[in-house]
A and B are shown apart, each in its own frame.
Chain A
Amino acid sequence: MSKEITIAEMPAGLEGPGFFATSLEKAIGLARANSIWPLPFATSCCGIEFMATMGSNYDLARFGSERISFSPRQADLLIVAGTIAKKMGPVLRQVYLQMAEPRWVISVGACASSGGIFDTYSVLQGIDKVIPVDVYVPGCPPRPEQILDGFMQIQELVKNESLRRRNSNEYKVMLGSYGIQ
């Protein structure tokens, strides 16, 4: 095992003796991307794979997610892992609404992304019918490596997001299309 400690890469900026200057956006992006608190919304099989991802072998904590937040108020990232039935849809939406901005959503697995093999009267055909989704992770269930990859994609998004994005008109229109004010 390597003893090296890797630290996050420095953003571009001006550097001189005793000072380093970069844009606020990049500094905040860097901080946010490496301290994402996920809220696992695990309903079924993918939840078990998510447990494995959190477990010691795959260790999601390496990515700055040591703290799994079970309270939506303190969470940055909603990880929806598993089938969402129509009965569950309003609950999921409620949880999303309770999260504070900025918030991101990963849809883990085929069921959450599209209904998967359950094209039935009782299953919501993809969570993007009720809430906006940032990253879709395919698989039934995805392997922990895939979930980690999805997580890293989210980190990229977070790192490069403009600070103004959440106040922009496009964002409001997008939320409005889900009926969220």
Chain B
Amino acid sequence: MAEITNTYVSEELYKKFGDAILSTDEPYGMLTVVVEVSSITSVVDWLKKHPVINAHFLTDICGTHFPQIPGKELCAIYHMQSMPNNYRIRLKCFVPITKPEVPSLTGLFPSANWMERETYDYYGIQFIGHPNLQRILNVDEMDYFPLRKEFPLEDGSRTDKDDKYFGR
């Protein structure tokens, strides 16, 4: 099988989805595609079923938070790969923090279930269509999304740490 190149994949993506592909980039050799939120499932589905690209394996889902980009604060990052072609691709979609809604991939990959729950737990990204979107790692009573940048890392209950010795 001919080796799949980033150029080939991005051309195919532009051909198929056009405006839904917001930008492409190749940091450290991995094709990174920023996708319109509404079409993320169709892009993933298309990549999965594409006869040549055949990105049949969902490697990873994670989120991140950019408070400095208004309107695009939260970002869901997907890594997919094709084992037969040894090809990896990264997809991203940005959502505003006021309406952090991303369609769920659980219909396409059962493995997305917990990864999306984890991302929800950390960042509060709502995966629409997820069968059981609850906190997974943190306690259910937690009322904030701890990995958003504004929340502190430290536990507030420590009394032995005197701030004046830590320069805070």
Contacts and interface: CB of A to CB of B under 8 A. Distances in A.
Q: Do A and B form a real pair? A: yes
Interface of A: 86-87, 115, 119-123, 125, 129
Nearest to B140: A87
Interface in B98-155: 137-139, 146, 151-155
A123 B153 CA distance: 11
B155 A120 contact: yes
Contacts of B158: 115, 119, 125
Given A115-B155, A129-B157, A121 B139 contact: no
Contact of B154 (A86, A119, A129): A119
Contacts of B139: 86-87, 122
Nearest to A115: B155
Nearest to B144: A121
Interface string B150-168: 0111110110010000000
Contact of B146 (A87, A121, A125): A121
Contacts of A86: 139
B153 A119 contact: yes
B153 A120 contact: yes
A87 B142 CA distance: 11
Contacts of A129: 157
Contacts of A119: 153-155, 158, 161
A122 B153 CA distance: 9
A129 B157 CA distance: 10
Contacts of B152: 121
Nearest to B138: A122
Contacts of A120: 153-155
A23 to B, nearest CB: 41
Contacts of A125: 155, 157-158
Nearest to B156: A121
A87 B146 CA distance: 15
Given A119-B155, A122-B146, 12 more contacts: A115-B155, A119-B153, A119-B154, A119-B158, A120-B153, A121-B146, A121-B151, A121-B152, A122-B137, A123-B155, A125-B155, A129-B157
17 contacts: A87-B138, A87-B139, A115-B158, A119-B154, A119-B155, A119-B161, A120-B155, A121-B146, A121-B151, A121-B154, A121-B155, A122-B137, A122-B138, A122-B139, A123-B155, A125-B155, A129-B157
